[in-house]
Structure 1
Amino acid sequence: MKFRLTFLIFLLSLVASAQKDTSKQLGVKEIESIYIDTDEVFKINIKTSTNSDLISISTHSEGEYFNDIALNTEVKENAIYLTTKFREILKSGFDKLSAHKVFSLEITLEIPEELRVFVKSNIASVEADGAYDFVQVQLNSGYCNLSNFTGNALVNTFNGAITIQTTDATVTASSRNGKVILPSIVIGKHVIKATSINGDIRIVEN
Protein backbone atom coordinates (compact mmCIF):
# COMPACT_ATOMS: atom_id res chain seq x y z
CA MET A 1 0.00 0.00 0.00
CA LYS A 2 2.81 2.36 0.90
CA PHE A 3 4.55 1.53 -2.38
CA ARG A 4 1.39 2.25 -4.36
CA LEU A 5 0.92 5.60 -2.61
CA THR A 6 4.53 6.57 -3.25
CA PHE A 7 4.23 5.56 -6.89
CA LEU A 8 1.03 7.59 -7.28
CA ILE A 9 2.69 10.67 -5.77
CA PHE A 10 5.63 10.16 -8.13
CA LEU A 11 3.32 9.99 -11.15
CA LEU A 12 1.44 13.11 -10.07
CA SER A 13 4.71 14.98 -9.65
CA LEU A 14 5.77 13.95 -13.15
CA VAL A 15 2.51 15.22 -14.61
CA ALA A 16 2.77 18.50 -12.73
CA SER A 17 6.39 18.99 -13.77
CA ALA A 18 5.61 18.35 -17.45
CA GLN A 19 3.32 21.34 -17.90
CA LYS A 20 3.48 25.09 -17.52
CA ASP A 21 0.88 27.86 -17.38
CA THR A 22 1.44 31.57 -17.93
CA SER A 23 -0.85 34.60 -17.99
CA LYS A 24 -0.59 38.34 -18.53
CA GLN A 25 -2.83 41.33 -19.10
CA LEU A 26 -2.29 44.30 -21.40
CA GLY A 27 -4.09 47.61 -21.61
CA VAL A 28 -6.03 48.17 -24.81
CA LYS A 29 -5.66 51.92 -25.11
CA GLU A 30 -5.06 52.70 -28.80
CA ILE A 31 -4.82 48.98 -29.66
CA GLU A 32 -6.73 48.22 -32.86
CA SER A 33 -5.25 44.94 -34.12
CA ILE A 34 -3.84 41.66 -32.82
CA TYR A 35 -1.49 39.59 -34.99
CA ILE A 36 -1.03 35.93 -34.00
CA ASP A 37 1.71 34.20 -36.01
CA THR A 38 2.26 30.97 -34.11
CA ASP A 39 3.72 27.78 -35.53
CA GLU A 40 3.77 24.56 -33.48
CA VAL A 41 0.76 25.73 -31.45
CA PHE A 42 -1.93 23.15 -30.78
CA LYS A 43 -4.93 25.43 -30.28
CA ILE A 44 -5.86 29.12 -30.18
CA ASN A 45 -8.95 30.21 -28.24
CA ILE A 46 -10.29 33.76 -28.62
CA LYS A 47 -13.34 35.34 -27.07
CA THR A 48 -14.55 38.90 -26.73
CA SER A 49 -15.82 40.61 -23.61
CA THR A 50 -17.84 43.75 -22.97
CA ASN A 51 -16.77 43.93 -19.32
CA SER A 52 -13.05 44.58 -19.63
CA ASP A 53 -10.65 47.18 -20.99
CA LEU A 54 -7.81 44.66 -20.87
CA ILE A 55 -6.45 42.00 -23.19
CA SER A 56 -5.85 38.78 -21.25
CA ILE A 57 -3.35 36.29 -22.68
CA SER A 58 -2.81 32.88 -21.10
CA THR A 59 -0.88 29.83 -22.27
CA HIS A 60 -0.80 26.19 -21.31
CA SER A 61 2.13 24.07 -22.48
CA GLU A 62 2.84 20.44 -21.79
CA GLY A 63 4.79 17.48 -23.08
CA GLU A 64 8.37 16.35 -23.20
CA TYR A 65 9.68 19.74 -24.31
CA PHE A 66 7.18 22.05 -22.60
CA ASN A 67 9.97 24.28 -21.26
CA ASP A 68 11.34 24.92 -24.75
CA ILE A 69 8.19 26.61 -26.07
CA ALA A 70 7.27 30.20 -25.26
CA LEU A 71 4.95 32.92 -26.50
CA ASN A 72 6.47 36.29 -27.30
CA THR A 73 4.30 39.39 -26.91
CA GLU A 74 5.25 42.67 -28.52
CA VAL A 75 3.34 45.94 -28.74
CA LYS A 76 4.02 48.20 -31.73
CA GLU A 77 2.01 51.37 -32.24
CA ASN A 78 -1.64 50.28 -32.45
CA ALA A 79 -1.05 46.52 -32.63
CA ILE A 80 -0.08 43.54 -30.50
CA TYR A 81 2.08 40.81 -32.06
CA LEU A 82 2.10 37.26 -30.66
CA THR A 83 4.73 34.84 -31.95
CA THR A 84 6.07 31.50 -30.77
CA LYS A 85 9.63 30.99 -29.71
CA PHE A 86 11.18 27.54 -29.41
CA ARG A 87 14.48 25.79 -29.89
CA GLU A 88 15.40 25.05 -33.49
CA ILE A 89 15.45 21.32 -32.81
CA LEU A 90 11.73 21.40 -32.09
CA LYS A 91 10.69 22.86 -35.44
CA SER A 92 8.70 20.58 -37.74
CA GLY A 93 11.02 18.76 -40.08
CA PHE A 94 14.19 20.06 -38.42
CA ASP A 95 15.42 16.53 -37.78
CA LYS A 96 14.11 13.04 -38.34
CA LEU A 97 13.13 12.67 -34.69
CA SER A 98 10.86 15.72 -34.65
CA ALA A 99 7.78 13.66 -35.48
CA HIS A 100 8.26 11.66 -32.27
CA LYS A 101 8.63 14.61 -29.93
CA VAL A 102 5.62 15.32 -27.75
CA PHE A 103 4.85 18.95 -27.01
CA SER A 104 1.93 21.31 -27.27
CA LEU A 105 1.08 24.93 -26.57
CA GLU A 106 -2.46 26.24 -26.20
CA ILE A 107 -3.19 29.97 -26.23
CA THR A 108 -6.30 31.64 -24.81
CA LEU A 109 -7.13 35.30 -25.37
CA GLU A 110 -9.94 37.40 -23.95
CA ILE A 111 -10.20 40.74 -25.72
CA PRO A 112 -12.60 43.69 -25.98
CA GLU A 113 -15.10 43.73 -28.82
CA GLU A 114 -14.57 45.28 -32.26
CA LEU A 115 -10.84 44.62 -32.65
CA ARG A 116 -9.13 43.25 -35.76
CA VAL A 117 -7.52 39.83 -35.32
CA PHE A 118 -5.13 38.10 -37.75
CA VAL A 119 -4.16 34.46 -37.17
CA LYS A 120 -1.63 32.35 -39.06
CA SER A 121 -0.43 28.90 -38.01
CA ASN A 122 0.81 25.64 -39.46
CA ILE A 123 -0.88 23.17 -37.10
CA ALA A 124 -3.14 25.14 -34.76
CA SER A 125 -6.91 25.00 -34.67
CA VAL A 126 -8.84 28.18 -33.87
CA GLU A 127 -11.92 28.55 -31.68
CA ALA A 128 -13.33 32.09 -31.58
CA ASP A 129 -16.57 33.67 -30.51
CA GLY A 130 -17.91 37.17 -30.00
CA ALA A 131 -18.00 40.48 -31.86
CA TYR A 132 -15.07 41.66 -33.98
CA ASP A 133 -14.34 44.33 -36.54
CA PHE A 134 -12.48 41.83 -38.74
CA VAL A 135 -10.96 38.37 -38.35
CA GLN A 136 -8.52 36.74 -40.76
CA VAL A 137 -7.51 33.11 -40.22
CA GLN A 138 -4.96 31.17 -42.29
CA LEU A 139 -4.41 27.57 -41.22
CA ASN A 140 -2.65 24.57 -42.69
CA SER A 141 -3.78 21.44 -40.85
CA GLY A 142 -6.04 22.85 -38.13
CA TYR A 143 -9.76 23.62 -38.16
CA CYS A 144 -11.52 26.95 -37.58
CA ASN A 145 -14.70 27.31 -35.55
CA LEU A 146 -16.31 30.76 -35.24
CA SER A 147 -19.32 30.56 -32.91
CA ASN A 148 -21.82 33.30 -32.07
CA PHE A 149 -19.69 35.37 -34.42
CA THR A 150 -20.41 38.95 -35.41
CA GLY A 151 -18.16 40.86 -37.81
CA ASN A 152 -16.28 40.56 -41.08
CA ALA A 153 -14.08 37.52 -41.67
CA LEU A 154 -11.75 35.85 -44.15
CA VAL A 155 -10.99 32.21 -43.32
CA ASN A 156 -8.64 29.98 -45.33
CA THR A 157 -7.64 26.42 -44.45
CA PHE A 158 -5.76 23.70 -46.27
CA ASN A 159 -6.98 20.52 -44.55
CA GLY A 160 -9.07 21.75 -41.64
CA ALA A 161 -12.84 22.08 -41.51
CA ILE A 162 -14.50 25.48 -41.16
CA THR A 163 -17.63 26.05 -39.09
CA ILE A 164 -19.14 29.52 -38.76
CA GLN A 165 -22.19 30.42 -36.70
CA THR A 166 -23.17 33.98 -37.49
CA THR A 167 -25.93 36.43 -38.27
CA ASP A 168 -26.41 39.58 -40.34
CA ALA A 169 -23.67 38.63 -42.80
CA THR A 170 -23.25 38.03 -46.52
CA VAL A 171 -21.38 34.73 -46.69
CA THR A 172 -19.55 33.00 -49.55
CA ALA A 173 -17.94 29.60 -49.12
CA SER A 174 -16.03 27.18 -51.36
CA SER A 175 -13.96 24.02 -50.88
CA ARG A 176 -12.04 22.27 -53.62
CA ASN A 177 -12.35 18.74 -52.21
CA GLY A 178 -14.66 19.13 -49.22
CA LYS A 179 -18.39 19.53 -48.70
CA VAL A 180 -20.03 22.94 -48.32
CA ILE A 181 -23.22 23.46 -46.32
CA LEU A 182 -24.56 26.97 -46.77
CA PRO A 183 -28.04 28.37 -46.02
CA SER A 184 -29.91 29.33 -49.18
CA ILE A 185 -29.98 33.01 -48.25
CA VAL A 186 -27.15 34.47 -46.18
CA ILE A 187 -27.23 38.25 -46.53
CA GLY A 188 -26.30 40.98 -44.08
CA LYS A 189 -24.16 44.02 -43.43
CA HIS A 190 -21.01 42.02 -42.63
CA VAL A 191 -18.95 40.11 -45.21
CA ILE A 192 -17.59 36.62 -44.53
CA LYS A 193 -15.60 34.52 -46.99
CA ALA A 194 -14.52 30.95 -46.23
CA THR A 195 -12.32 28.80 -48.48
CA SER A 196 -10.59 25.45 -48.06
CA ILE A 197 -8.68 22.95 -50.15
CA ASN A 198 -9.64 19.69 -48.43
CA GLY A 199 -11.80 20.74 -45.49
CA ASP A 200 -15.58 20.75 -45.18
CA ILE A 201 -17.32 24.10 -44.63
CA ARG A 202 -20.51 24.58 -42.65
CA ILE A 203 -22.28 27.92 -42.23
CA VAL A 204 -25.05 28.22 -39.64
CA GLU A 205 -27.30 31.21 -39.01
CA ASN A 206 -27.83 32.22 -35.37
Structure 2
Amino acid sequence: MKVKNQIILALDVEEKNRAYEILDQVTDYLDTIKIGYPLTLAEGPQIIKSIKEDYDVQLIADFKVADIDATNEKIVKTTLNWGADAIIVHGFPGEDSVLACKNAAEELDKEVFLLTEMSNPGADRFLKPVSLDIARMGVELGINNYVAPATKLDRLEKIRNIVGKDAFIISPGVGVQGGKAKDTLEFADAAIIGRSIYNSESPKEVLEEVIHSIKV
Protein backbone atom coordinates (compact mmCIF):
# COMPACT_ATOMS: atom_id res chain seq x y z
CA MET A 1 0.00 0.00 0.00
CA LYS A 2 1.25 3.46 -0.90
CA VAL A 3 0.00 6.50 1.01
CA LYS A 4 -0.04 10.00 -0.47
CA ASN A 5 1.99 12.49 1.58
CA GLN A 6 2.54 9.68 4.12
CA ILE A 7 -0.56 10.72 6.06
CA ILE A 8 -3.67 8.70 6.91
CA LEU A 9 -6.78 10.42 8.25
CA ALA A 10 -8.48 8.65 11.17
CA LEU A 11 -12.05 9.70 10.45
CA ASP A 12 -13.65 8.98 13.82
CA VAL A 13 -16.69 11.24 13.49
CA GLU A 14 -20.20 9.87 13.89
CA GLU A 15 -22.17 11.52 11.08
CA LYS A 16 -21.92 10.98 7.35
CA ASN A 17 -22.47 14.66 6.58
CA ARG A 18 -19.59 15.70 8.84
CA ALA A 19 -17.40 12.96 7.42
CA TYR A 20 -18.08 14.20 3.90
CA GLU A 21 -17.43 17.83 4.88
CA ILE A 22 -13.98 16.79 6.09
CA LEU A 23 -13.27 14.55 3.12
CA ASP A 24 -14.19 17.37 0.75
CA GLN A 25 -11.44 19.47 2.31
CA VAL A 26 -8.64 16.93 2.60
CA THR A 27 -8.79 14.46 -0.26
CA ASP A 28 -6.68 16.69 -2.50
CA TYR A 29 -3.87 16.04 -0.02
CA LEU A 30 -4.35 12.44 1.06
CA ASP A 31 -5.67 9.24 -0.43
CA THR A 32 -6.00 6.92 2.57
CA ILE A 33 -8.73 7.01 5.22
CA LYS A 34 -9.04 4.94 8.38
CA ILE A 35 -12.52 4.51 9.84
CA GLY A 36 -13.48 2.61 12.93
CA TYR A 37 -16.51 1.78 15.00
CA PRO A 38 -17.78 5.34 15.69
CA LEU A 39 -18.68 6.10 12.07
CA THR A 40 -19.50 2.52 11.06
CA LEU A 41 -21.85 1.88 13.98
CA ALA A 42 -23.52 5.28 13.61
CA GLU A 43 -24.12 5.01 9.87
CA GLY A 44 -24.00 1.27 9.25
CA PRO A 45 -21.42 -0.65 7.20
CA GLN A 46 -22.78 0.89 4.01
CA ILE A 47 -20.75 3.98 4.91
CA ILE A 48 -17.70 2.03 3.75
CA LYS A 49 -19.24 1.48 0.35
CA SER A 50 -20.44 5.09 0.16
CA ILE A 51 -17.03 6.59 0.87
CA LYS A 52 -15.38 4.26 -1.62
CA GLU A 53 -17.91 5.22 -4.30
CA ASP A 54 -17.81 8.97 -3.66
CA TYR A 55 -14.08 9.50 -3.06
CA ASP A 56 -10.95 8.15 -4.70
CA VAL A 57 -9.43 6.84 -1.47
CA GLN A 58 -8.03 3.70 0.08
CA LEU A 59 -10.03 2.73 3.14
CA ILE A 60 -8.65 0.89 6.16
CA ALA A 61 -11.23 -0.53 8.56
CA ASP A 62 -9.90 -0.08 12.08
CA PHE A 63 -11.94 -2.80 13.76
CA LYS A 64 -9.05 -4.25 15.79
CA VAL A 65 -10.37 -7.74 15.18
CA ALA A 66 -9.69 -9.94 18.22
CA ASP A 67 -11.75 -13.11 18.33
CA ILE A 68 -11.34 -16.80 17.61
CA ASP A 69 -10.30 -17.81 14.12
CA ALA A 70 -13.76 -18.75 12.80
CA THR A 71 -15.32 -15.49 13.97
CA ASN A 72 -12.38 -13.44 12.72
CA GLU A 73 -12.79 -14.93 9.26
CA LYS A 74 -16.43 -13.81 9.13
CA ILE A 75 -15.64 -10.30 10.38
CA VAL A 76 -12.85 -9.82 7.86
CA LYS A 77 -14.80 -11.15 4.88
CA THR A 78 -17.90 -9.13 5.70
CA THR A 79 -15.94 -5.92 6.22
CA LEU A 80 -13.86 -6.26 3.09
CA ASN A 81 -16.90 -7.20 1.01
CA TRP A 82 -18.41 -3.86 1.98
CA GLY A 83 -15.50 -2.28 0.13
CA ALA A 84 -12.70 -1.73 2.64
CA ASP A 85 -9.23 -2.23 1.19
CA ALA A 86 -7.68 -3.42 4.44
CA ILE A 87 -8.57 -4.23 8.02
CA ILE A 88 -6.64 -3.86 11.29
CA VAL A 89 -6.43 -6.96 13.49
CA HIS A 90 -5.06 -7.58 16.97
CA GLY A 91 -2.16 -9.97 17.42
CA PHE A 92 -2.65 -11.00 21.06
CA PRO A 93 -5.32 -13.69 20.35
CA GLY A 94 -2.55 -15.71 18.70
CA GLU A 95 -1.41 -17.04 15.39
CA ASP A 96 -4.55 -19.05 14.53
CA SER A 97 -6.72 -15.95 14.87
CA VAL A 98 -4.29 -13.79 12.89
CA LEU A 99 -3.90 -16.38 10.14
CA ALA A 100 -7.67 -16.58 9.74
CA CYS A 101 -7.70 -12.84 9.07
CA LYS A 102 -4.74 -12.96 6.73
CA ASN A 103 -6.14 -15.84 4.70
CA ALA A 104 -9.60 -14.29 4.46
CA ALA A 105 -8.16 -11.01 3.21
CA GLU A 106 -5.88 -12.68 0.70
CA GLU A 107 -8.83 -14.61 -0.76
CA LEU A 108 -10.35 -11.23 -1.59
CA ASP A 109 -7.04 -9.78 -2.81
CA LYS A 110 -7.02 -7.33 0.11
CA GLU A 111 -4.79 -6.64 3.10
CA VAL A 112 -4.52 -6.95 6.87
CA PHE A 113 -2.59 -4.71 9.25
CA LEU A 114 -1.32 -6.40 12.41
CA LEU A 115 -1.61 -4.23 15.51
CA THR A 116 1.48 -4.68 17.64
CA GLU A 117 1.18 -1.95 20.30
CA MET A 118 -1.33 0.85 20.85
CA SER A 119 -0.59 4.55 21.28
CA ASN A 120 -2.40 5.16 24.58
CA PRO A 121 -0.55 5.10 27.95
CA GLY A 122 -2.71 2.29 29.28
CA ALA A 123 -1.37 -0.07 26.63
CA ASP A 124 1.91 -0.17 28.55
CA ARG A 125 0.39 -2.49 31.14
CA PHE A 126 -0.77 -5.36 28.93
CA LEU A 127 0.28 -4.84 25.30
CA LYS A 128 3.78 -3.45 25.73
CA PRO A 129 5.16 -6.63 27.38
CA VAL A 130 4.10 -8.72 24.36
CA SER A 131 4.16 -6.28 21.45
CA LEU A 132 7.61 -7.28 20.21
CA ASP A 133 6.56 -10.92 20.31
CA ILE A 134 3.46 -10.00 18.30
CA ALA A 135 5.70 -8.33 15.72
CA ARG A 136 7.90 -11.44 15.56
CA MET A 137 4.82 -13.61 15.12
CA GLY A 138 3.71 -11.39 12.27
CA VAL A 139 7.03 -11.89 10.51
CA GLU A 140 6.76 -15.66 10.99
CA LEU A 141 3.25 -15.62 9.50
CA GLY A 142 4.28 -13.54 6.51
CA ILE A 143 2.42 -10.38 7.51
CA ASN A 144 3.55 -7.34 5.52
CA ASN A 145 1.62 -4.52 7.23
CA TYR A 146 1.81 -3.37 10.86
CA VAL A 147 0.47 -0.76 13.27
CA ALA A 148 2.87 0.68 15.86
CA PRO A 149 2.64 3.78 18.08
CA ALA A 150 3.81 7.28 17.15
CA THR A 151 3.64 8.24 20.82
CA LYS A 152 6.41 5.81 21.77
CA LEU A 153 9.22 6.24 19.27
CA ASP A 154 11.51 3.83 21.07
CA ARG A 155 8.89 1.11 20.68
CA LEU A 156 8.21 2.08 17.09
CA GLU A 157 11.92 1.81 16.31
CA LYS A 158 12.15 -1.63 17.94
CA ILE A 159 9.14 -2.88 16.01
CA ARG A 160 10.64 -1.55 12.77
CA ASN A 161 13.86 -3.42 13.48
CA ILE A 162 11.91 -6.65 13.99
CA VAL A 163 9.61 -6.45 10.97
CA GLY A 164 12.31 -5.15 8.64
CA LYS A 165 12.71 -2.26 6.22
CA ASP A 166 10.39 -3.75 3.60
CA ALA A 167 7.38 -4.04 5.94
CA PHE A 168 4.77 -1.28 5.84
CA ILE A 169 4.10 0.42 9.19
CA ILE A 170 1.30 2.89 9.89
CA SER A 171 1.54 4.79 13.14
CA PRO A 172 -1.30 6.32 15.21
CA GLY A 173 -1.00 8.98 17.89
CA VAL A 174 0.17 11.98 15.86
CA GLY A 175 -1.39 15.25 16.95
CA VAL A 176 -3.59 15.35 20.04
CA GLN A 177 -1.86 12.36 21.64
CA GLY A 178 1.51 14.05 21.28
CA GLY A 179 3.21 12.28 18.37
CA LYS A 180 5.00 14.36 15.73
CA ALA A 181 4.58 13.41 12.09
CA LYS A 182 8.17 14.08 11.02
CA ASP A 183 9.65 12.13 13.94
CA THR A 184 7.23 9.26 13.38
CA LEU A 185 8.15 8.97 9.72
CA GLU A 186 11.74 8.21 10.61
CA PHE A 187 10.49 4.70 11.41
CA ALA A 188 6.96 4.46 9.98
CA ASP A 189 5.73 4.64 6.40
CA ALA A 190 2.63 6.67 7.25
CA ALA A 191 1.43 8.74 10.20
CA ILE A 192 -2.18 8.47 11.33
CA ILE A 193 -3.83 11.73 12.40
CA GLY A 194 -7.36 12.02 13.74
CA ARG A 195 -8.67 14.62 16.17
CA SER A 196 -6.22 17.35 15.16
CA ILE A 197 -7.82 17.29 11.73
CA TYR A 198 -11.45 16.30 12.19
CA ASN A 199 -12.04 18.51 15.25
CA SER A 200 -10.50 21.54 13.55
CA GLU A 201 -12.54 24.38 12.12
CA SER A 202 -10.32 24.07 9.05
CA PRO A 203 -9.18 20.49 8.48
CA LYS A 204 -7.52 21.53 5.23
CA GLU A 205 -5.30 24.10 6.94
CA VAL A 206 -4.25 21.69 9.67
CA LEU A 207 -3.36 19.06 7.08
CA GLU A 208 -1.37 21.59 5.05
CA GLU A 209 0.59 22.52 8.18
CA VAL A 210 1.39 18.88 8.91
CA ILE A 211 2.55 18.28 5.35
CA HIS A 212 4.76 21.36 5.57
CA SER A 213 6.22 20.18 8.92
CA ILE A 214 7.26 16.91 7.29
CA LYS A 215 9.04 18.58 4.42
CA VAL A 216 11.02 21.23 6.32
TM-score by length of 1: 0.28
Higher-Rg structure is 1
More strand, by proportion: 1
Q: TM-score, normalised by structure 2?
A: 0.27
More helix as a share of residues: 2
